[in-house]
A and B are shown apart, each in its own frame.
Chain A
Amino acid sequence: MKILKQLFGLLLAAGAIAVLVFLVRLTQSVDGDLHLKRLAAIQNVDDLDVALNRAVTLNRVSSLALAGDDKMAIIGQLGDAMDALDVGPLSLRGMSPEIDAALDQFLTTAGDKFVLAFDFDIRYAQVSSRLIKSVDAVPIFIHRVRRLLSDEHPMVKVLERLQSEVMALTVSSAAEASQVSRIQDYLNDIENLAAGDELSGFVVDPELTRLVKQLTSSARDVIGDKQELNERLDAFFATPTAAHLQELEDVYSLRHEALVAKAAGYRQYLIAYAVVLLLVLAMLGLRLRSSFRELDKANETLEAQVEERTQDLSDTLKELRASQTHLIQSEKMASLGQMVAGVAHEINTPLGYARGNADIVKTSLIDIGHVCAQQNRALNLIASGDAPEHEVAEALTQAISLDQEVSTGELVEDLDNLLLDTEHGLKQIAELVASLKDFSRVDRSRNDLFDVNLGIESALKICQSQLKSGITVNKVFGELPEIECSPSQVNQIFLNIITNAAQAIESAKRPDGRLFIHSKAENGGVSVRFLDNGCGMSAEVREKIFEPFFTTKPVGKGTGLGMSIIFRIIEDHGGKIEVKSIEGKGTEFMLWLPLRQAEEAPETQDETIAVAA
């Protein structure tokens, strides 16, 4: 879901950027620089065209060779300039059909003009030389005709006028129609005059006639050539290159303006789009900023929260530790209570008879004392020698009867037995107290050398009262090396397991309760098996027995810490404990303790464990 959202955002951003790039490209489609260069190129073509025209014009009036060279150079430049408009970076082609049409039109026109120019050159060269010959021939023929004519001849004047007109025509740049028609008139007049002479009967010199013919022909050639040249030049100048170029420029300019307008339109869009984008960015920025601010705030509150939670947690931990200590204390008290119950009975029984016996001995001694006193009295009477016989006899009788009454001999024997019992009882108490002392020895180190068999014996002694109700203890003790351990803790394990076994047998209400204890040296340590035929436990219970606070005993009877403490003690000692059980059949505990303890800091020792059972 989150990935999809991110992908969507990414696509959106890419789209926005693509649109931006597209718009920017559209606005940049009009290149001002290129436009100016194109305009310059068009101007260049125009200038060259004008220059060509001028060159052609000059060509007509000035010396041929120089003007011709100039013109060819201009034509070459013009061709290049036109090519630049057609192809290359400044080309106008392809911009629009209108421009293409105008360009084609211009190029065609210009091409025609070139053709005209070349034709003109060629014709000019031919016509000019003929013209010059004709022009040169006219005065000669006029002169020859003059010589044949008399001064009064009307033709003379006409000839003079013709000569000046032809000269004028020759030097004039344009062959003016009036001039030409005048010359024609003169030529007609001359021909008429020559023909008139013939008619009027003048002797017509055949020479004159020939000469006149030659003159009119030459003059007519001059007029014809001059007119042809003028026509050609006119045609050349009439070629509408400038107009077509102007048209091209106009079309191009229009197109350019349209493009510029279009680009301006796009620029509007771009600006609008950019504004929108900026707004969106600003919004995003604001949102980002606010979320950063929130994040900052959240960070601050988070820190505070974390601190608070940490405080809570450490408080809870403290409470838990306190309640754990309390529970361990309760467990200690509970097992202590249980132990005290057993031990109290074990001590109170011998104490009971010892005290009773002492009391009996005490009261009996009074009786015996009386017998002794009576006997002493009788003996004293006998010993004194001067006592009356009947008194002695009476005293003896009394002593004997008292002795019989008390049955001193029997009594002393009984008392002797009572004292033996008392002695035995006191010894038992002493032993019990000694094993209690052994048992609860608060030793902090795990490095004492300890005989596990002795530990089991001592635990059995303390549990004696619990085991008494019909439980047979079967001990098979192997020869064991002394192991390094904390004896009081290990004793506690035994006491706990034996107590549990006794309780299991009791709750199974088994008259033939049996507890089998087997110890042996094994795997570089000592292993002990406790097997009872008590009530056993279910798989669920067995799984949980080493968990703290798990108990199957009724509320108030056990804190459920006993087995978990055993587990911890064994773990602390680097040992192992396993339990097998079948519900209704019995339970087996197998534990193993290593021979030696790893060197370890003593703080892993927990004082509470040392005493808790």
Chain B
Amino acid sequence: MEMEEEKAHVLFVDDERRILSTMRMLFRSDYNLHFANSAQEAIDFLKRQAVDVIVSDQRMPGMTGVDLLREAKDLRAEAMRILLTGYSDLNAIIGSINEGEIFRFVNKPWINQELKTTVAQAVEAAKATRDAIRAAREDGEEAVQQSNLPAALVLDEDAGIAPAIQQIMGEQYRIVGATTIEDAIATMESEAVGVVITDTRVEGRSVVNLLSTLKEYNPELISMVVTARADAGMAIELINQGQIYRFITKPLRDTQCKIAVAAALTQHRRMARHNQLSQRYQVQKTSKATEASQPLASSLMSRIRSLRRLVTGAA
């Protein structure tokens, strides 16, 4: 028995006990289950015990799911965070991305099998990265060396955005601009790029597929979305399928932008140093090809695949 690996610990948080009952029935054979009836209860629990995955409701009395997940990130950085919610406005979704750094966003009512898969992925990622996280946290203490930083690529139809971000970031950061996907890939082929900053749509197409493909083959690449077209559905797709690291709305605010881009570059360095970490950012495989996320041309796909060498090589 001792030899057998211990079951992962999963914490479910919801103010509706019946949800917790369902979760118990659904997962009882797979994990060590923990339940909290409120955000506060969950925080108290997390202070006592580490878990691999937290699944939280968004709307709860006293504290929202996003706030809970942000606290959880500080308390138990290694725990993967999933938001399970009946309805969330755009602000909540953006908050969960930027502050909660969540793994997935799951809508109620869920499909049992999909939820199981998502939780399983989260558990797997948590287990795989437990050591790396600790190492990375120690890294975090080190001063980030400003030299040697890879460039941040700005992909936006508006050619003015890249210079604007360059100005906000200052001289020590290198910002390169691209107005088409082809441009962007060409830039990445010729130069070490650690962060991709993009609008939600480029050349009239959603970037979800591009980001998803980039992430799939180059997990160390950190992606950020900067857009004026904030939309809840799009944001959920971007987090679930593109694993975006930050979601920023235009008009750009200097401080917010600076912190986000710097954090993204630091994150990229950690990822590059600790390969296992990339598992935390694996994207959701989606079978459905919506209109918004048409698959990329195969020529581009192959070029993206071959980027990996360049990205890792540069790190």
Contacts and interface: CB of A to CB of B under 8 A. Distances in A.
Are A and B subunits of one complex?
yes
Contacts of B107: 348
B59 A353 contact: no
Given A350-B18, A360-B25, A469 B62 contact: yes
A191 interface: no
A405 B263 CA distance: 50
Interface in B105-139: 107-112, 115
Contact of A348 (B14, B26, B61, B86): B86
What size tier do the contact residues of chain A reach?
A: 20 to 34
B40 to A, nearest CB: 10
A352 B20 CA distance: 11
Interface stretch (A73-81, A285-293, A418-426): A418-426
B164 interface: no
A54 to B, nearest CB: 136
Interface string B164-195: 00000000000000000000000000000000
Interface stretch (A97-105, A339-347, A436-444): A339-347
Nearest to A358: B112
Contact of A418 (B25, B62, B63, B109): B25
A357 B25 contact: yes
Given A356-B112, A360-B25, A341 B89 contact: yes
Contact of A352 (B63, B89, B109): B109
Contact of A360 (B14, B18, B87, B112): B112
A347 B86 contact: yes
A607 interface: no
Contacts of B21: 353, 417-418, 421
A357 B24 CA distance: 11
A151 to B, nearest CB: 183
Contacts of B84: 352
A398 B84 CA distance: 40
B112 A349 contact: no
Contacts of A390: none
A418 B23 CA distance: 11
Among B15, B57, B84, B108, the one with the most A-chain Cβ atoms within 10 Å of its Cβ is B108
Interface in B95-112: 107-112
Interface in B19-76: 19, 21-23, 25-26, 57-64
Given A414-B25, A417-B21, A424-B18, A356 B86 contact: no
A359 interface: yes
B102 to A, nearest CB: 18
A511 B18 CA distance: 25
B22 A421 contact: yes
A417 B16 CA distance: 15
A26 to B, nearest CB: 93
A144 interface: no
B85 interface: yes
B16 A353 contact: yes
Interface string A419-459: 00100110000000000000000000000000000000000
Interface string A353-367: 111110110010000
A471 B61 CA distance: 8
Contacts of B85: 345, 348
10 contacts: A352-B108, A352-B110, A356-B110, A356-B112, A359-B112, A417-B21, A418-B22, A425-B18, A468-B59, A468-B60
Closest 7 CB pairs of A and B: A348-B86, A352-B108, A345-B86, A344-B87, A348-B108, A352-B109, A356-B22
Interface of A: 340-342, 344-357, 359-360, 363, 414, 417-418, 421, 424-425, 465, 468-471, 511
Given A350-B18, A352-B110, 15 more contacts: A340-B87, A344-B86, A344-B87, A345-B58, A345-B59, A348-B109, A349-B14, A352-B108, A352-B109, A356-B112, A357-B22, A359-B111, A425-B18, A469-B61, A469-B63
